[in-house]
Amino acid sequence: MNQNTKEALILELTKAKIGKQHIDNPTNTNLTKAEFWIECYLEAEKEIEEAVKRLIPEN
């Protein structure tokens, strides 16, 4: 899979995770902290990499 595609998927998943946190708890102060965003990004990156490995096995 193209690296740009992976990065786009990671960013979209990160935004979805942040959005879900806001819906679940609108007063969550973590939403404005860089550390929280980085943690979400790294978690999304791991999830995307695992999904790519499962769905697109290397030849």
* Predicted pLDDT of residue 6: 95
Q: Give the model's pLDDT for residue 53.
A: 92
Q: How does the average pLDDT of the chain come out, rounded?
A: 91
Backbone dihedral angles phi then psi of residue 48, each to the nearest 5 degrees: -65, -45
What's the first-to-final CA gap in the chain, in angstroms?
12
Closest CA to 41 of 22, 5, 16: 16
Give the pTM. Answer: 0.83
pLDDT tens for each residue of 17-40: 999 988 898 888 888 899 999 999
Per cent of the chain over pLDDT 90 is: 71
Q: What is the pLDDT of residue 28?
A: 84
**Domain ranges within the chain, ordered by starting residue:** 3-55
Distance CA 45, CA 51 (A): 10
Contact call for residues 21 and 28 (beta carbons, < 8 A):
yes
* Two structure tokens written together for 38: 């980085």
